[in-house]
Structure 1
Amino acid sequence: MMVCATALAPGTVRRNPENPMPRRLDHLVICVHDLQQAALDWQKLGFTLTPTGVHPFGTSNRLAQFSDNFLELLAVTDDALVPAAAPGRFSFAAHHRDFLGRSEGMSMLALHSTDAHADAARFAARRIGAYAPFDFGRDAVLPAGGTARVEFSLAFATDPAMPGIAFFTCEQRHPPELFWKPDYQRHAHGATRVIEVVMSAPEPARHREFLEHLMEDTAELVPGRLTVGKSSDRVTVLGPAELSRRLPGLANEASPRFCATRLAVADLDATRRILKANGINFEMLGSVLLVPPAGSHGLALEFVAQETF
């Protein structure tokens, strides 16, 4: 059943009765030119990565898994297979090819889904994504060798006020044990989960309605900052002044973009020791360990102790 978009008073929770819970962060897509080099750099940062996965539409990836979400390093590896975008159809691969024409970094945010086809209908009704759902599969390499077939469905959402970046929900249509592997979830720096995505935008308030519809939750808005989602699954949008306060040295841009992610770690002192031993450039900002975007292919990394969020 499709739910028609209606005008709601500020502060009203924008949840759908068919999907009453706020959405969880599923994964972040970090788009890179050279997947092999990016993997080496991220392993030096302390991430354990899955073997290379190959998509049937011209992209390949390697993942840093946690218990229930993950980071995805992704590159366009066969341009001949990239499908063109068409009315009503979002081309995942073409989006990333275009993104790489500008820069490396986080290009898309994925949210957890149990029914991406229903999400696509809701997005269309709310006018945040008039795209057909996208179903595909690929082979995943298992820790002991061999492969397993994994299948996904995606529902895309975009906002004209956020050009160049995009959002989607991701439904996994295979037994969980085929994808989630403890061997891939143990990281040298001790990270246990992605807990926040940080965006920059000249006017955070301008993106409130879109993000509330997307996240199925009510945003908190204060001057220069918008947040939506609970502390363990949050999207934060910062204006120029708030961005420079939280992430010194990151220049704001005219268009909204993804600029950082926050990761919970079991022991922040141990994380600091591992990164220092690996020669990683970082700084401590109070209780936050910050790796600048130059060291992680365009996305700043904030590490915080688990008990602080």
Structure 2
Amino acid sequence: MRRGLDHVVHLVRDLDAAGEIYDLLGFTVGARNRHPWGTENRIIQTPGFFIELLQIVEPEKIPAAEGSAFSFGAFNQDFLARLGEGLSMLVLEGSDATHEKAAFDADGFGGFDIFDFGRKARRPDGQEVDVGFRLAFARDPASPDFGAFTCTQLNPENFWSPDLQRHSNQVTGVAGVVLVADAPAEHQAFLETFSGCSVQRALDAWYVAQTPRGSIDVMSREMFTERYGVPAPGGPGLRLAAIRFSTPGAPELRRSLAARRMVEEAIDGIVVVPQRAALGATLVFELTPA
């Protein structure tokens, strides 16, 4: 089954500071939420997709990864210690975690238990509600710094909020994510299993999977820098490098961010917020018709 983009984890050291940056970028940022394993998050929603700003607040509560149990907290704690702030995990929309785990296991990209959890969430009107999630983890053995899982919403009516999807930057949705690797073709099999989508070669160093919600582009680091004008994250295997958004308000956003020195040189039709301005993430805003 083809799986659309669900969310991206943006790992930060200071959740409130990260919220201020995303507010400057014109996003509506949700309230703090607490996980029982020592992390807290804030959510930035677009229709069907969100950014999870994540901070490790109680490291003593982070469970170790043991056997077939994947530790979300431990993965991000290790990522932060070794690599610093940035985009740590890509999450696709799940529908049947048992089936997804079986597919990942069969192709050699799984081996982890399904993980169910719930937490409290606060609506924009202040009402506290229950949300729940069921996760199936995948891994590319050649990519230790790339987290991947599917997420099935157990209480979607309590999670998604039209009020949180209204942004002053006029973002209408996610256009895609960009991964980088030294040899993109070597990760084609993993990405096809993970996404359930065909991964097609666009150029020698650029492969694309069109999902039901946004594209997954994987390109060489050199091509990423040539296309977006900013450095690509390093390391072995895949790294999550950028999130792409659609907005008719790109020209106004460029002017606003240029005054704050939060954008790179002009690239026709897009606004690029580099890692140095967005806590290790590259954020791309692409002009779309109003």
In structure 2, what residue type is equivalent to 1:117? T
Is the counterpart of residue 290 in structure 1 residue 276 in structure 2?
Answer: no
Is the counterpart of residue 45 in structure 1 residue 10 in structure 2?
Answer: no
Which of 133, 137, 140 aligns to 2:118? It is 137
Quick one: distance in 2 between partners of 1:208 and 1:180?
32
Q: Percent identity?
A: 37
Is the counterpart of residue 157 in structure 1 residue 118 in structure 2?
Answer: no
Paired residues of 1:260 and 1:300 also in contact (CA < 8 A): yes
- CA offsets, 1:47-91, max 9 Å, x none? 111100101111110011011111110011111221110111100
The 3-state SS of whatever aligns with 1:96 is helix
Quick one: distance in 1 between partners of 2:48 and 2:137?
21
Which of 243, 249, 272 aligns to 1:267? It is 249
- 2:16 maps to which residue? 36
Paired residues of 2:115 and 2:136 also in contact (CA < 8 A): yes
- TM-score, structure 2 normalization: 0.93
| 1:20-169 correspondence to structure 2 within 5 Å | 22-102=2-82, 103-169=84-150
Shift of 1:231: 8.6
Paired residues of 1:195 and 1:231 also in contact (CA < 8 A): no
Quick one: distance in 2 between partners of 1:24 and 1:231?
5
Quick one: distance in 2 between partners of 1:155 and 1:195?
24
Call closer, same or farther: CA 1:263–1:98 in 2, change over 3 Å.
same
The 3-state SS of whatever aligns with 1:109 is strand
The 3-state SS of whatever aligns with 1:70 is strand
The 3-state SS of whatever aligns with 2:48 is coil
Call closer, same or farther: CA 1:246–1:44 in 2, change over 3 Å.
same
Paired residues of 2:10 and 2:52 also in contact (CA < 8 A): yes
Shift of 1:252: 5.5
In structure 1, what residue type is equivalent to 2:179? M
Call closer, same or farther: CA 1:277–1:231 in 2, change over 3 Å.
farther
Q: Structure 2 unaligned runs (5+)? A: none
- 1:302 maps to which residue? 284
- 1:9 maps to which residue? none
Shift of 1:230: 4.5
Which of 203, 212, 237 aligns to 2:218? It is 237
Shift of 1:294: 0.9
> Which consecutive aligned stretches of 4+ in structure 1 deviate over 4 angstroms post-superposition?
276-279
Paired residues of 1:283 and 1:291 also in contact (CA < 8 A): no
What RMSD over aligned residues (CA atoms) do the two structures have, in Å?
1.8
- TM-score, structure 1 normalization: 0.88
Paired residues of 2:232 and 2:241 also in contact (CA < 8 A): no
- CA offsets, 1:250-296, max 9 Å, x none? 04624231111110113322322443466633432111111111111
Number of aligned residue pairs: give it: 287
Paired residues of 1:188 and 1:274 also in contact (CA < 8 A): no
| 1:7-22 correspondence to structure 2 within 5 Å | 19=1, 22=2
Call closer, same or farther: CA 1:50–1:267 in 2, change over 3 Å.
same
Quick one: distance in 2 between partners of 1:169 and 1:288?
29
Quick one: distance in 1 between partners of 2:221 and 2:47?
33
Is the counterpart of residue 170 in structure 1 residue 136 in structure 2?
Answer: no
